[in-house]
Amino acid sequence: MQHVTQVELLKRTLALVEQGVSDCVEAPSALPVDVYLNEERYRRERDEVLRCEPLLVARSSEIAPGHFITRDLLAPLLLTRDEQGRLRGFLNVCKHRGTQLVGEVAGRNRVFVCPYHAWAYNPDGQLRGIPHGYGFEGIDRACLNLTEVPVAERFGAVWARHSEGPALDLDTFFGEQILADFDSFALDSHVLFDPQDIRRPVNWKLTIDTFLENYHVAKAHQATIDHLFWPNLGLFDRFGRHIRNYYVKRNLREILDQPERDWDLRRHGNLLYFLWPNTLVLVEPDHIAFSTVFPDGPQATRVLGHTLLPEEPATEKALRYFQKNNAILYSALEEDFALAARVQKGIQAGAAGQLWHGRFEQALRWFHQGLDEALGDARVEVMKPKSTPQVG
């Protein structure tokens, strides 16, 4: 991150320490529990939001020139890169009878032959051949090519839309501040470490909710990460529908003995980015963890996670260090999943019609407001701030 931004955020943090409060908005808010339970709402989130936005689906390094990978996410995807490095994305579906075309996870480009009736496609999505083609005379062959979906690369990652649409404009999508922050992390040169594929029986939004506030850390993470963090102290900034949180560590006061030129934001807290609509990025002092959250049905979540390291661990000691760090991260995530499952049961019991967001849980409000705006369905209710009594 640019040093001027680091200094600005750390000064804001020190001011909050002096006040003894976290960053807050003007009033609490409430959210109806049916946004987690209603199946029609889930289908609209999937079809009208998640399938229509750029989603992180792979690291660029996973697709070498002349190779392909497949991803079975909100739709089956086939991603190919030609020998010149051009990346293309398709729905991994044969146009004849809708069969999944390519079954392998990855491999070298080739003519892709459907396992059902042997229709054949080139890696550029063009239909190559139809056995007994006379049976399909009169059909425009252009409409039988694979359905292409827009893809683009940024931050060393592949972003894809899960449906047809215009080319992705990631500069506009992320905006100036997110681009500045992430470009400063130099992610293109990082290496992939410890990919994860986790499925749990909770609504996908409950999974994201657990990342977006640190109010729960003191109680829920006593055994894992609580000792590292200042109780319920954070900064929260919104950039369009993207969110940047800064969760402060207990070593913050060390900077009081340092000149500003030596201040290091990542040493004294963790940055947590929510990249609309479903990617969470945890920036730690010497590595960065990505978690992309997909609904796996109305009441189920799939999290694709991976860690980025500045370089391959050069020694066994370095390897054990990063393995230990990830073990702590995923242990904390399992604690969050366990609590999310308890929330799921609680809201299904009908004990209350709404859940509450405190003034320092504003990132939760922003996330759900973003979904409301995208769906044209305002469900977040912001409480009116209490007026201060006038004296005299």
Residue 389's pLDDT is: 45
Domain final residue, candidates 113, 133, 160 = 160
pLDDT tens figures, 30-69: 999 999 999 999 999 999 999 999 999 999 999 999 999 9
With a CB cutoff of 8 Å and minimum separation 6, the contacts of 370 are 241, 276, 277
Domain final residue, candidates 113, 140, 160 = 160
Residues 358 and 287 in one domain: yes
pLDDT tens figures, 315-337: 999 999 999 999 999 999 999 99
Inside any domain, residue 41: yes
Inside any domain, residue 352: yes
Residue 392's pLDDT is: 38
Residues 76 and 192 in one domain: no
Residues 138 and 252 in one domain: no
- Cα–Cα distances in angstroms (integers) from residue 259 to residues 249, 251, 256, in the given order: 19, 16, 8
Instruction: Using a pLDDT cut of 90, give the percent of the chain over it.
Output: 95
pLDDT tens figures, 245-276: 999 999 999 999 999 999 999 999 999 999 99
pLDDT tens figures, 129-159: 999 999 999 999 999 999 999 999 999 999 9
What CATH number does residue 222 fall under? 3.90.380.10
What CATH number does residue 127 fall under? 2.102.10.10
CA distance 220 to 216: 6
Inside any domain, residue 387: no
Residues 295 and 181 in one domain: yes
- The band of 387, judged by pLDDT with boundaries at 50, 70 and 90, is low
Residues 337 and 263 in one domain: yes
Residues 221 and 333 in one domain: yes
The number of distinct structural domains making up the chain is 2
Domain final residue, candidates 110, 135, 160 = 160
pLDDT over 70 at 390, yes or no: no
Inside any domain, residue 391: no
Inside any domain, residue 312: yes
Inside any domain, residue 35: yes
What range defines the domain where residue 97 resides?
A: 56-160
Residues 132 and 276 in one domain: no
Residues 276 and 369 in one domain: yes
pLDDT over 60 at 239, yes or no: yes
Residues 359 and 236 in one domain: yes
pLDDT over 50 at 11, yes or no: yes
Inside any domain, residue 392: no
Q: What is the mean pLDDT of the chain?
A: 95
Residues 40 and 187 in one domain: yes
Inside any domain, residue 165: no
Residues 92 and 183 in one domain: no
Residues 75 and 111 in one domain: yes
